[in-house]
Amino acid sequence: MLKTILRGLFALTVVLGLGLSLAVPANAQDPNQRVWIQIESYTDLATTEQRLRAYSQLLEDVNGFRAGSRFYAIALGPYPRSDGIALLGQLRAQGLIPGDSFLQDGQAFTQQFFPVGVNTLDGDAVETTQGVVAEAQEQTEEVAEEVIEDVAEEITPDPAPLPEETPAEARQSEAQLTRAERDELQIALQYFGFYRGGIDGAFGPGTRGAMTAWQQSRGFEATGILTTRQRAQLLAEREEELARLGITTVRDERAGIQIDLPLGMVAFSEYNFPFAQYDSINDSGLRVLLISQPGDRATLFGLYEIMQTLEIVPLEGERERQGDRFLLTGQSDSLRSHTEARVVGGGFVKGFTVVWAPERDEDMEQILPILRDTISYFGGALDPAFVPEGAEEDIDLVSGLEVRRPDLMRTGFFIDSRGTVLTTTEAVSGPNGQCARVLIDNAYAADVVYRDDALGLAVLRPRTALAPLDFARMAETPGRLRGEIAVAGFPFGGALSAASTSFGTLSALSGVNGETNVQRLEIATEDSEAGAPVLDGSGAVLGMVLPGMLEGRALPDEVTLALRADQLLPVLQQAGIAPQIATTTGMMNRETLSRLGSDIAVRVSCWN
């Protein structure tokens, strides 16, 4: 009976001209799209159920939904959009629902729990508002007046719509906010891109400016002081956005990571050491990898290099490695990625990678700060045995992720403490005569600051200053004929992350055609070792290995040509490069010599 009477009240509103027009604006969305009228939301189920029972005694089509992992929503519907607009206006005008109620397309709702056994999310639109109004018109004004006093208290939602405040009243109510509540407002303003400062609970010029901008964007008077109702709307808008993205706290016991993830866009796929992989769902184009492995700083730096070889990390982007952490970003026309990792207590390397398509850039402005702010670490790390069953080893895959390969890889070596590298011109020319990008150790972008094509040498300077473990000391005099030499290079196409050292002898101080700036070595080298340093027994650099072709013909396996360091010194000095000169310090054993070679040799790669 009460519901029938209320329908009469709605009809009366239309008859008296107090309601809104049923016409749909020309620029509105599809008038037949299903919508709900969301009227309240709570964080606890008990309160939500209590309010649902109260509304169900007064209104038709009352539903209870889960919204994300932390909220419960009360909504009326569903209705065709055109009817929902009309009914929303009528209910607001009568004060039967809060003034900040709004239309919801249902994407934020994850599961219906009220009424029991009903699922309007998958059903068709229900009775239209026009039908409700037609039925209500049969009710008389006398009947409405008879019961209006009896139900007035019931039909007023609790809490009642908040009155608007003057700026002075708003400042007074604002003064009653706790530090946590002030932080929450700054977080919400930051979430929508209005606030760029730190979360400190202090409403200074930055926060006031953000409040002003938010008020302007919502059509409010721009006072820079949010009223109680405006604060409630701002926080509600953020919660709606979080619900739309499906932001949910995930605690991964195996990885030892807790983080808020957008589970409306990704879902757990598998463990593939060192990653817990969350793949795209609902055509979101988003992917999240939780990083978790035992290790120390050396492990972290190794991961830093490996990540840069993956297709999910485009070449262009910010690279920052310092102390016990690193930041790695990448962007291209078709892909974006962001990786953060660090060494955490107990000897573990943990962090996350998020990969997305460019059309998700706007969503990522909201999601990325959430990932960064909510990630925390506990317990152990993923076991290296966490590899998907049946996974096959593939040289082009790392933990199931596709590896990006350079066009060409050669060797080079540090010649000063700033990370300047000497290499062969072949390394910076590539197979097609050009390189869009030259990297040192597949990680550090470098510029060619000098090259001599006649000699076949190039000098690289990293765009970010490096601090090598050691660097070359160049010999001023020729090496000793038949003396033992060592070559520290990267055979096997640079598959190994550290240089390997091979040993041979210096067989001649001239080239095969009598060139005085070239020496012959009795040692076998691979193509990718071109540019490698040649060391004598004292550790002095005697020269640089040249490519294994001479005038279009391959050299015999046991013959390697190398530029002579004593002939290179004047060329480098004329180019403004002053490498350090070697001084005799005694002989090294092979182990020490190999360690020196590994410290100074680097991979030089050409990318297009």
**Could you tell me which residues are beta bridge partners of residue 73?**
41, 65
Alpha helices in 260-344 (DSSP H): 297-307
Residue of 442, 153, 399 whose CA lies nearest to 293: 399
Q: Looking at this protein, which amino acid is placed at residue 384?
A: P
pLDDT in tens, 45-97: 888 888 898 888 889 999 999 887 678 899 999 999 888 888 888 887 777 88
Asked if 190 and 316 sit in the same domain, the reply is no
**What total number of domains does the chain contain?**
4
CATH code of the domain in which 498 resides: 2.40.10.120
Asked if 87 and 17 sit in the same domain, the reply is yes
Contact 426, 547 (CB under 8 A): yes
Contact 519, 506 (CB under 8 A): yes
Q: Calculate mean pLDDT across residues 173-195.
A: 91
Does residue 255 carry a pLDDT above 90?
Answer: yes
Does residue 127 carry a pLDDT above 50?
Answer: no
412 contact partners, CB below 8 Å, separation of at least 6: 421, 422, 423, 424, 427, 440, 460, 531, 532, 601, 602, 603, 604
Contact 185, 170 (CB under 8 A): no
> Is residue 389 a part of any domain in this protein?
no
pLDDT in tens, 263-310: 889 999 989 899 999 999 888 999 999 999 999 998 998 899 888 888
What pLDDT sits at residue 388? 64
What pLDDT sits at residue 142? 43
Residue of 203, 200, 198 whose CA lies nearest to 175: 203
Residue of 532, 545, 537, 525 whose CA lies nearest to 480: 537
C-alpha span between 205 and 196 (Å, rounded): 12
Residue of 36, 30, 186, 187 whose CA lies nearest to 107: 36
Express as a percent the part of the chain with pLDDT over 90: 44
Task: Find the helix packing angle between 228-245 and 361-374, rounded to 10°.
Answer: 100
> Is residue 225 a part of any domain in this protein?
yes
Does residue 582 carry a pLDDT above 70?
Answer: yes
Asked if 433 and 572 sit in the same domain, the reply is yes
User: How many other CB atoms are found less than 10 A from the CB of residue 388?
Assistant: 14
Q: Which of 327, 344, 360 is the last residue of a domain?
A: 360
Residue 346 gets the label, from left (phi > 0), alpha (psi -120 to 50) or beta, of left
Asked if 426 and 287 sit in the same domain, the reply is no
Asked if 266 and 343 sit in the same domain, the reply is yes
Helices (runs of H) and strands (runs of E) counted in the chain: 14, 33
Asked if 235 and 271 sit in the same domain, the reply is no
Asked if 473 and 409 sit in the same domain, the reply is yes
Range of the domain at 173: 167-245
Asked if 413 and 481 sit in the same domain, the reply is yes
What pLDDT sits at residue 140? 30
Does residue 149 carry a pLDDT above 70?
Answer: no
Q: Calculate mean pLDDT across residues 126-149.
A: 41
pLDDT in tens, 378-434: 999 998 876 665 554 544 456 668 777 788 899 999 999 989 999 999 999 877 778
> Is residue 383 a part of any domain in this protein?
no
Does residue 14 carry a pLDDT above 50?
Answer: no
pLDDT in tens, 196-231: 888 899 999 999 999 999 999 988 899 999 998 899
> Is residue 474 a part of any domain in this protein?
yes
CATH code of the domain in which 311 resides: 3.40.1000.10
Instruction: Retrieve residue 458's tokens.
Output: 């190039």
Q: Which of 155, 184, 215 is the last residue of a domain?
A: 155
| DSSP letter, residue 405 | -
Asked if 75 and 171 sit in the same domain, the reply is no
Contact 400, 392 (CB under 8 A): no
C-alpha span between 576 and 505 (Å, rounded): 32
Asked if 83 and 135 sit in the same domain, the reply is yes
Q: Which helix (H) or strand (E) segment is 593 a member of?
A: helix 590-600
For residues 9 and 242, the model is more confident at: 242
**What is the C-alpha radius of gyration for the chain, rounded to an integer number of angstroms?**
35
> Is residue 377 a part of any domain in this protein?
no
Q: Give the three-state DSSP class for 46.
A: helix
Asked if 30 and 138 sit in the same domain, the reply is yes
Residue of 228, 209, 60 whose CA lies nearest to 160: 228
Average pLDDT value over all residues in the chain: 82
Q: Which of 214, 245, 276 is the last residue of a domain?
A: 245
Task: Find the helix packing angle between 129-136 and 2-15, rounded to 10°.
Answer: 90
Q: Give the three-state DSSP class for 261.
A: strand
Contact 102, 232 (CB under 8 A): no
Asked if 297 and 151 sit in the same domain, the reply is no
CATH code of the domain in which 202 resides: 1.10.101
> Is residue 384 a part of any domain in this protein?
no
> Is residue 181 a part of any domain in this protein?
yes
Report the Cα 175 to chain-centroid distance in Å: 37
> Is residue 312 a part of any domain in this protein?
yes
pLDDT in tens, 508-530: 998 888 888 999 999 999 989 99
Residue of 600, 593, 583 whose CA lies nearest to 483: 593
User: How many other CB atoms are found less than 10 A from the CB of residue 430?
Assistant: 19
Residue of 83, 73, 84 whose CA lies nearest to 107: 73
